[in-house]
Structure 1
Amino acid sequence: MKLFNCTNCGHPVYFENVYCLNCNASLGFDAQSLQQVSLVVENNGQYCLNHLYKVCNWLVPVGSASPFCTACQLNRTIPDLTKPEYLENWNAIEIAKHRLIYQLLRLRLPVVSKDQDEVHGLAFDFIADDKSAEKKHVFTGHDNGLITINIAEADDIAREMARKQMDEVYRTLLGHFRHEVGHYYWDRLIANTVHLNEFRNLFGNEQWDYAEAQKKYYADGAPANWNSNYISAYATMHPWEDWAETWAHYLHIIDTLETAYYFGLSVHPINQATEKLQTGQITDPYYIDNFDKIIELWLPLTFAMNSLNRSMGLKDSYPFMINPAVITKMTYIHKVVREAPLVQPFHVN
């Protein structure tokens, strides 16, 4: 994500800040300009209604028909706020969701709520497991534009237990959002479009029975050589999951490179033998047409990121090997995104 500055004093601020630590000016995020703005300087909006619960710092334009911001209009179900632990989980969920929506807007993809378009819109249900008798576990997933997130995913311990149980190398709340919204954009960008045949050539035929594929995957697991053609073991289950996993990693790459760009990062190892780790100054990935250039920037950056983590005694921040087949799939995703009908353009400083 880009760096933000208080428009009152110029001090750097985080995306989630509600006030400037330097001048104490109230801050809000403007989804039209994709900027953090000071309410001292700007007076063309007010806080989203969910600001009352300290889960949103986005602004609603004056005269808006909804008291909710662009991101919160997508919520269909929120957790039971009479339970304090649920409010804490919801806060973590909204942080991840708002970052997702920022990126979708930055990509200029359509972000439309089901209240506006029941058939093609997007909505979120944030639901907790019901511990009473005969109630089923809430599964995170996507169904025709409705994304359900089990709020237990916001609990670090529960999520880590699930990660180990599912034998996953990487499991984050933001990653869940990116994966599930990938299913939504498959419906919007691939199904019944000119892109479908190429999708089938790269990912496989999505008409393969999903329930049967799921049953087979959980019974047999991924093929032994899955890492030659897929980004994750789970991606082997079905072409739709391959798309969603690859889509999520595409969003990981673009967002992280944007952050690196705004910090003026470049990778120049002292060891000159490692020429493949030279990047030059990283550029804004949202303006790069050629995905090969993005990969040229990404691989050295992840090597540096993982090396820094290991110096802190932490696990790799990006524990994946991107094989040529996955690069081809991401190149396709990059093309599809850049050819998608654009929403109203904006200027990013």
Structure 2
Amino acid sequence: MRAYRCRVCDNPLYFENSVCVSCGTALGYSRSERAIVPVGEDGRYVDAAGLVWHVCRNLNLHGCTWLAATEGGQCFSCDLTRTRPSDADLVGLENYPAAERAKRHLIVELDTLGFPVTGKDPATGGDPVNGLAFDLLSSVAENVVIGHQDGVITIDLAESDDAYREQVKQKLAEPYRTMLGHFRHEVGHYFEWQLVRGPELIGRCRELFGDENADYQSAIERHYREGPPEGWESSYLSTYATMHPFEDFAETWAHYLHISDTVETASEYGLAAVAPVTAFSSFRDVVSGIWVPLSIALNMINRSMGKADLYPFVIPGPVLDKLDFVASLRP
């Protein structure tokens, strides 16, 4: 994540700021400029091309600070949400802002890396063909399974609750579980569906991750019945990645985003003096030359505060090959 500053008073800003706490200027995030910009008292911002942008109508609903193309309309990120909790679902609405915040973070990262993000097609009634959409559902009202299907990512809003998420994390013996992590993992399924096409890419993907045609339901049942295979640590990032080639790809993709975003943030805040991740010819060099020493230092900083490791994972050689493949899909 980039470091932002107020264009009026040069005060440091956080990504979610809607007002500068120093000078009181109203703010909005311009996706086209990848910047936080000042908004007038009329809720408008005029960019360098003369286009007029407006505060997203969802600012007071879930804290969206992005700019919309039409007055009273919603921004690009909010347009991607196909389903949200009803106004009567008070628990769902309480958990809703954290999910939207993670989604906005995800879109900025994908924009930074150059991966195309297109939304739903209104002409088809809102069901995307190759576009991306999100169903942010409340498990208070129904059973919700986090997943991806044909461009629609489903997120359980209960995962926004720290206590609930920690319970699930302990139950599944996971070293890491966050709302942003869910978004990163599920969008990995989407981009495998979109980008791994043609015999050459499909062949290489199968070499690294396995045959995606393996029966998924059988793989789930086997995984929860038997657990991961012995010695999984030498070839996988997590036990969940061992379940099926689809899950191995999505886990690898999520870690590609974890690493890329954290390295960029560390560079923006002066913790590492490196070029953008996209400037490296090999993601292997990013991992071995930058990420490994940086993550060790960050883990030790966390331990100094009595906290768990920031990045509780080991990256074996075969996973470096997988990470390189995922990074190579960038347009």
Q: Scaled by the length of structure 2, what TM-score is found? A: 0.92
Q: 5+ unaligned residues in a row in structure 1: which ranges?
A: 267-280, 341-349
Distance of 2:147 and 2:129 partners within structure 1 = 18
Q: Is the 8 A contact 2:85 2:138 kept in 1?
A: yes
Partner of 1:61: 69
Is 1:95 matched up with 2:101?
yes
| Contact in 2 for aligned 1:264/1:282 (Cα 8 Å) | no
Residue 138 (structure 2) aligns with: 128
1:75 aligns with 2:68: no
Give CA-to-partner distance per residue, 1:71-104, whole Å, 9 cap, x none.
1111010012334332221111111110001111
Say which is worse superposed, 1-10 or 243-252, in terms of deviation: 1-10
Match of residue 154 from structure 2:
148
User: How far 1:48 moved relative to its partner?
Assistant: 1.5
Which position in structure 2 is the counterpart of 1:190?
Answer: 196
Alignment of 1:236-255 (within 5 A): 236-255=242-261
Distance in 2 (alpha carbons) for counterparts of 1:191 and 1:213:
23
Matching of residue 285 in structure 1 with residue 277 in structure 2: yes
- Equivalent residue in structure 2 for 1:305, among 298, 302, 311: 298
Contact 1:230/1:236 (CA < 8 Å) preserved in 2? yes
Deviations for 1:271-315, whole angstroms, at most 9, x for unmatched residues?
A: xxxxxxxxxx23321322221321110001000100000000000
1:29 aligned partner: 29
Q: Does the aligned pair in 1 maintain the 2:83–2:137 contact within 8 Å?
A: yes
Partner SS state of residue 28, structure 2? strand
Q: State which of 45, 49, 52 in structure 1 corresponds to 2:57.
A: 49
Q: Which residue of 2 aligns with 1:108?
A: 114
Q: Structure 2 CA distance, aligned partners of 1:158 and 1:113?
A: 30
Does the aligned pair in 1 maintain the 2:92–2:158 contact within 8 Å? Answer: no
Provide the C-alpha distance between the structure 1 equivalents of 2:230 and 2:199, rounded to a whole number of angstroms: 33
What code does the residue aligned with 1:34 have? Answer: R
2:325 maps to: 332
Q: Distance in 1 between matches of 2:279 and 2:58?
A: 33
Is it true that 1:314 corresponds to 2:307 in the alignment?
A: yes
Corresponding residue of 1:231? 237
Aligned-partner Cα distance in 2 for 1:180–1:161: 21
What is the rounded CA distance, in whole Å, between the counterparts of 1:62 and 1:77 in structure 2?
A: 21
Letter in 2 for 1:283: A
Judging changes above 3 Å, is the alpha-carbon distance between structure 1 residues 314 and 145 closer, same or farther for their aligned structure 2 residues? same
Give the match's secondary structure for 1:224. Answer: coil
C-alpha distance in 2, partners of 1:6/1:169? 37
Pairing 1:201–2:207 present: yes
- Pick one of 171, 180, 186 that aligns with 1:165: 171
Where does structure 2 lack aligned partners over 5 or more consecutive residues?
47-51
Matched position secondary structure for 1:126: strand
State the shift of 1:193 in Å. 5.8
Q: CA RMSD in A?
A: 1.7
Aligned-partner Cα distance in 2 for 1:77–1:115? 15
Aligned position for 2:6: 6
1:276 — aligned with what? none
Runs of 4+ in 1 over 4 A off after TM superposition: none
Amino acid at match of 1:39: V
| Larger RCO, structure (CA 8 Å, separation 6 or more) | 1
**Distance in 2 (alpha carbons) for counterparts of 1:84 and 1:38:** 32
TM-score under structure 1 normalisation?
0.87
